[in-house]
């Protein structure tokens, strides 16, 4: 028999397993089950993954809700583009819009208070990566992602798009302030 020719007996699955092959199959199956259990365990006890709510939306509906929050809670504007800084009360819904190549508005939160952060994209897939915290979400157009957040450290955090979205992708950054 050679590697080029097909096996003499075509019904290979009817042959008994060798002891070594069976051992490796059992080891691989057990390892897969362990890894699956670890994924569930890290999600429940390790607090490694965010539990998000996701709702179907349209750009117009979402933009109306975001504009209402900006109109109600704007405290100042920043940058040359006059981006509003929104400081909602604790427990409020906060809306962040991703579009080519910006995040809008800038958000200001209070340390130790809980907020519901709503995210969506107006045009293409974008990423929401809050640095240096380990929050990473893919933002998809037509879907509103809702994350419950409780900031535990004061500071200035950068929001970075980590999903390539075109030629201005490297400029797509935003800010979150925690007082």
Q: Minimal CA–CA distance to 79: which of 177, 175, 15?
A: 175
Question: Does the domain at residues 53-178 carry the CATH identifier 2.60.40.420?
Answer: yes
Contacts of 166 (CB under 8 A, 6+ apart): 100, 101, 124
- Picking from 81, 95, 60, the residue whose alpha carbon sits closest to that of residue 176 is 95
pTM assigned to the model: 0.72
How confident is the model over 115-120, as a mean pLDDT? 92
Question: What pLDDT is recorded for position 47?
Answer: 65
- For residue 2, name the pLDDT band (cuts at 50, 70, 90): low
pLDDT score for 60 = 92
What is each CA distance from 75 to 9, 71, 91, 130, 160, in whole angstroms? 78, 10, 18, 22, 23
**What does the pLDDT look like over 4-16, one tens digit per residue?**
776 677 776 777 8
Residues 70-90, mean pLDDT to the nearest whole number? 89
């Amino acid at each position: 028999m050679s590697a080029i020719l097909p096996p003499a007996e075509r019904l290979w699955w009817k042959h008994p397993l060798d002891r070594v092959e069976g051992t490796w199959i059992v080891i691989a199956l057990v390892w897969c089950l362990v890894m699956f259990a670890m994924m569930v365990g890290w999600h429940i006890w390790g607090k490694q993954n965010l539990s998000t709510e996701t709702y179907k939306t349209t750009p117009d509906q979402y933009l109306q809700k975001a504009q209402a929050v900006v109109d109600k809670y704007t405290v100042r504007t920043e940058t040359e583009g006059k981006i509003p800084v929104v400081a909602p009360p604790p427990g409020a819904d906060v809306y962040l819009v991703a579009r080519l190549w910006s995040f809008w508005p800038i958000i200001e939160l209070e340390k130790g208070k809980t907020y519901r952060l709503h995210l969506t994209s107006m045009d293409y897939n974008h990423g929401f990566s809050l640095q240096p915290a380990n929050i990473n979400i893919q933002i998809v157009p037509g879907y509103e992602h809702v994350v419950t957040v409780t900031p535990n450290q004061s500071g200035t955090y950068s929001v970075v798009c980590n999903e390539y979205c075109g030629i201005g992708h490297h400029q797509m950054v935003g800010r979150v302030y925690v007082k």
